[in-house]
């Protein structure tokens, strides 16, 4: 989703941000005391997000895992950031309905758009990597075929480079969930040349 600075001053604590977020219909994200308003995404962004969430739901059925949409906040350690990834997966005994933010995702997915690409691949990714439970960070391009999957190693170190997939016949792997998803299932027959017109 596109972002714009909501209010650089004053700075907010994470609890103040949560309270402010609860009083508005806007989607607000939080990073180091600054609150950002998130604008809506493009039609292809929505299409890709929906298909990916469906694919994840089908594959985790019967497992103690839950797929959540961009309505669910992910909190980083010490409340330094609160983000709304396009999709997230966490595994546990219950959905944790009373929690304001998810603190233990196994997977987070960001669908990239031109206005948020640098932010998602930069500051957001740095913050996501600090979440101890997180095994995969997935970046999905919305302007063309392309998926990047960063997987935390068994040594708890994140790789410098992701696994990348660029063809509809490619299949991305999320080993922590023991699932594989073909890019064709994510992108369908989306025609990016038509989307650009």
CA 60, 62, 63, 66 torsion: positive or negative? positive
Cβ burial of 97 (10 Å; 0-12, 13-18, 19+) is exposed
- pLDDT tens figures, 54-79: 999 999 999 999 999 988 889 998 87
- Range 132-150 average pLDDT: 96
Structural tokens at position 53: 């969430």
Q: How confident is the model at residue 145 (pLDDT cuts 50, 70, 90)?
A: very high
DSSP letter for 102, please. B
- pLDDT tens figures, 77-104: 887 888 989 999 999 887 666 677 888 9
User: Please, what is the average pLDDT of the chain?
Assistant: 85
pLDDT at res. 98: 67
Phi and psi torsions of 187, nearest 5°: -95, -20
Which domains does the chain possess?
A: 42-195 (3.90.1570.10)
- What is the end-to-end Cα distance of the chain in Å, rounded? 20
Q: Which of 145, 56, 176 is nearest to 109 (CA)?
A: 56
- Range 38-54 average pLDDT: 85
């Amino acid at each position: 989703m596109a972002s714009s600075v909501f209010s650089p001053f004053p700075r907010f604590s994470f609890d103040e941000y949560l309270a402010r977020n609860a009083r508005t219909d806007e989607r607000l994200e939080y990073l180091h005391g600054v609150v950002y308003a998130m604008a809506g995404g493009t039609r292809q962004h929505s299409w890709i997000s929906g298909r990916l969430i469906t694919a994840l739901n089908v594959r985790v059925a019967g497992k103690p895992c839950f797929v959540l949409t961009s309505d669910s906040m992910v909190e980083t350690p010490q409340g330094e950031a609160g983000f709304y990834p396009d999709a997230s997966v966490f595994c546990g005994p219950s959905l944790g309905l009373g929690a304001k933010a998810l603190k233990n995702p196994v997977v987070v997915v960001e669908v990239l758009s031109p206005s948020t690409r640098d932010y998602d691949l930069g500051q957001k990714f740095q913050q996501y990597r600090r979440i101890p439970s997180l095994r995969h960070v997935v970046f999905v391009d919305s302007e063309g075929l392309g998926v990047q999957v960063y997987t935390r190693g068994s040594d708890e170190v994140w790789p410098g480079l992701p696994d990348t997939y660029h063809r509809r016949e490619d299949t991305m792997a999320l080993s922590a969930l023991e699932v594989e998803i073909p890019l064709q299932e994510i992108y369908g027959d989306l025609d990016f040349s038509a989307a650009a017109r």
